[in-house]
Amino acid sequence: MTADLTAPLFQPLTVRRMTVPNRTVMAPMGRGFARNHVPHPDAPAYYRRRIEGGVGLIITEATGIDHPLSADAGGTPYMHEAALPAWKKVVDEVHAAGGLIVPQLFHQGMLHGGGTPDVPVHSLRPSGTIGTPGPTSFAPSFIERAAVPTRPMTEEEIADAIAAYGRSVRNAVGLGFDGIALHGAHGYLIDSFLWGDSNTRTDRWGGDTAQRTAFAVAVIKAARAQMPADMPLFFRFSQHKSSNYDARTNKTPQELEAMLGPIVDAGVDVLDASIRRFWLPAFEGSHLNLAGWAKKLTGKPVIAVGSVGLGSTTTETFMKVGAESDEDNVDRLMERFNAGEFDMIAIGRSLIGDPDYVRKLREGIKPTAFSRDQLTTLV
């Protein structure tokens, strides 16, 4: 890795009123350190350190919206009530360091794990199922419980969830965040409407690929109604699900285009394509990854992600499969970036391992390697 190799990453990108100073993004990573859904007291310094280390934009860990079933674990922060003053401290610290930060808002939907085997919580599911299970880091006992069908979401529950997104967007705007990111990936609530396996509805919320975007479109419009017109909106999507890493929402580029078209038309500025390794092709017959296809089909700026600087996936990390290893894949990253496949690159575990990772990327210095032990602290 050399400074000359990575120099093209260090140019600005403007989206609406936001000008990101370089093309690196701190990927949203759930750290589990919140206390009763309130960001940890060390969170402001944790995020600030990444800005001081050169990151162009921070997208926060997934943060529950103002809905009672948005997040099951107290280690996941909320974007309402008692959590707001703590988030204000995060925003102020990032801004004091000259940085930009947007919150990733989500609802766990069908993957809410609350309750007990005897008294389960009724998670929100478009059609009452979690779709086809597959390889996952979830415990087998959770999948066994979650696979039991429940009732589909009612019209009232759908309306309540959409309104909850709007309230949390309004809260985030009031705290001074620089944009909004919606989590529409990994089988959570928005994505569960997009995936045909978990959305078999025959009303206005279901149907073919384009019709299944109705819930996402409604959420995007609710978010836009609470945002200044010049504030950027990000949208994360994926093929895989947390309950099935082999799942594919879209089997062809045509299906992907049918899904992304209404989402972009509703008001999304940047598409964040969640993939496990940035170099993996999305469809047969093309080298393009999921972000590359999203850019080709929509013309919108896109973010790629997936094992930057690492030889293992996030799944392997959390399932403790194999040994953690760093991997000098920056040349492969830059080849794709220089070809215009994606506009920004999100970096996850490598930034946990080394807050100065981006600065070292810019200067051609070998960073500190990531290890699982670093997941036990918030530094």
In order along its 379 residues, the chain shows pLDDT tens digits of 678 999 999 999 999 999 999 999 999 999 999 999 999 999 999 999 999 999 999 999 999 999 999 999 999 999 999 999 999 999 999 999 999 999 999 999 999 987 666 656 779 999 999 999 999 989 998 898 888 899 999 999 999 999 999 999 999 999 999 999 999 999 999 999 999 999 999 999 999 999 999 999 999 999 999 999 999 999 999 999 999 999 999 999 999 999 999 999 999 999 999 999 999 999 999 999 999 999 999 999 999 999 898 865 555 555 555 555 567 899 999 999 999 999 999 999 999 999 999 999 999 999 998 888 899 999 9
378 in a structural domain: no
Region of 271 please: left (phi>0), alpha (psi -120 to 50) or beta: beta
Residue (of 87, 86, 29) closest to 305 by Cα position: 29
Predicted TM-score of the model (pTM): 0.95
CATH code of residue 229: 3.20.20.70
For 288-316, give one letter per residue: b (16+ CB within 10 A) or e. Answer: bbbbbbbbbbbebbbbbbbbbbbebbbeb
Residue 188 annotated to the active site: yes
Options 46, 47, 165, 188, the catalytic residue: 188
- DSSP-based three-state secondary structure for 294: helix
Strand partners, 26: 58, 347
Query: Cβ distance 53 to 368 under 8 Å?
Result: no
379 in a structural domain: no
Show the domain range for 45: 3-372
377 in a structural domain: no
Cα(89)–Cα(43) distance, integer angstroms: 9
> Alpha carbon 140 to chain centroid distance?
24
68 in a structural domain: yes
Query: Cβ distance 19 to 371 under 8 Å?
Result: no
Query: Cβ distance 126 to 199 under 8 Å?
Result: yes
For the chain, what is the domain count? Answer: 1
Cα(5)–Cα(122) distance, integer angstroms: 51
341 in a structural domain: yes
